[in-house]
Structures are given as C-alpha cells and as structure tokens.
Amino acid sequence: MIGLQEYVASIKCYEDKVRRVLDSDSKEKFKKNDYYLTGKLLVAMPYMEDSRFAHAVIYICGHDEYGAIGLLINKSLNSLTFNDLLMQLDIATTPSHREVQMHTGGPVEVSRGFVLHSPDYQSDSTVRIGENFCITATLDILKTLAQGQGPRKFLLALGYTGWGSNQLEQELQDNFWIVVEPSEEIVFSSALDFRWRAAMASLGVDPLTLSLESGRA
C-alpha cells in the first residue's frame, strides 16, 4: 500500500531526473549524442522477449547519457482504485470528483505516482515535455482531480520503467522497440487494449505482418 511519506519523497528525485534532460544546455548536448527519445513513444515489437512489456506502449519522460525513464500508458492497475489512493493520502473528494483509471507505469518503484497530462494544467512542479505533454508528480494535482478540476487530458500511473546507460539504445538496435511520435488520441483517448495497435498504425505498420516476420534482423 502507498503511504503519504513514500509518495512525497518520490517527487524531488523524479523531478531532478526529468529536468536534467530538459534544460537548455542538456538539450544541445543530447542532440549531438543522439539522446532523442524524450517525449517519444516506444512501442514493443510482437516478438518482445520480456513478457512484462508484451504489446507495451511507453511514453519516454527522460533520456540522457545515464539512461531513460518512461511510463507505460496501456496497462491498467486493478489492485488499487483512485478512491483508495485518495483515502490513503487523506485527500477529501467532492461529489464532482473525476473518475480516474489507475495505470501501471512500470515495474520500478511501484509506490511512486506520476500524472502525464495535457499542458493546460501547470503547477510549480510541472515539467513540460514537448508542446503537448507535461508531467506532474505532486499531491496538488491529485487534490485538484479530487475536486473535479485539473488538466483536460491526463493519465495517472504508479511506478515507472527505467533503463541504464546505453541499455535502451541496445534494445533499439536489437529491434525490440519502434519509436513513434505521440498524440493525445493514442496516449489519452484510445481504449487501453487498442493503444498498441493504434501506435503501430500511426506509422502505417500492420502488426499482423510484423508478427509473421522471423524476428530481429
């Protein structure tokens, strides 16, 4: 179960990781070194060897020389409801509070929560990633959602997915992933069980054709 102290302690560490790949000096450095995946979607190939990421779609929140971090956007979390989370964090709700589906962001530090959302909501701790997406990892956004307010589009995930230095680059070379430009439709609006196919389709790729291939080239 998630405690308030664990949740709050997660905020500073996560923000530091993400902000490191977003400041202006780092952006130029990453361009020169091909650290280009921040703000992209990773879509698992049909022959993904790790069963935890079968048909996974992951939004990459940060990518630099130390590795990468991202959030699964198409895996639901059934062991905890949003109301349960609010009760644990002692956050009051109103009759107009929003219905929130919980997601599994990944297998790393599953007690930590993150909200990926549209840029119409901003707080002091919000990190903007590209033009159309932001991440906020503080209690304020949960309180806002509990009051029936907040961003127009959002996804609440517990845990995240992480790679060490050069690990993701190697997985891309091994053809475990396809890189896709994100859209609000794929990330927020599509049904969970359709997001993998929708992400593939955005590249004009037929998953059935891929599954018939022998695997990595």
Does residue 44 lie in a domain region?
Answer: yes
pLDDT value for 110: 87
Hey, which residues does 64 pair with through a beta bridge?
Answer: 67
What burial class does residue 207 get, using C-beta atoms within 10 Å of its C-beta: 0-12 exposed, 13-18 middle, 19+ buried? middle
Range 186-195 average pLDDT: 94
> How many separate domains does the chain show?
1
Does residue 168 lie in a domain region?
Answer: yes
CATH number for the domain spanning 196: value is: 3.40.1740.10
Range 139-155 average pLDDT: 92
The answer to whether residue 68 scores a pLDDT higher than 50 is yes
* pLDDT tens digits for range 74-95: 999 988 999 999 999 999 888 7
Does residue 171 lie in a domain region?
Answer: yes
Does residue 217 lie in a domain region?
Answer: no
What burial class does residue 214 get, using C-beta atoms within 10 Å of its C-beta: 0-12 exposed, 13-18 middle, 19+ buried? exposed
Question: 10 Å Cβ neighbour count for 148?
Answer: 12
Residue 122: give the domain boundaries: 4-211
Does residue 123 lie in a domain region?
Answer: yes
Nearby residues of 66 by Cβ (< 8 Å), 6 or more positions away: 164, 165
Q: Taking the model in full, what pTM does it have? A: 0.81
Q: What does the alpha-carbon distance between residue 12 and residue 14 come to, in Å, rounded to a whole number?
A: 6
The answer to whether residue 101 scores a pLDDT higher than 60 is yes
Q: What is the pairing mode between strands 133-136 and 108-117?
A: antiparallel
pLDDT value for 64: 86
pLDDT value for 21: 44
Does residue 216 lie in a domain region?
Answer: no
Does residue 187 lie in a domain region?
Answer: yes
Question: 10 Å Cβ neighbour count for 58?
Answer: 27
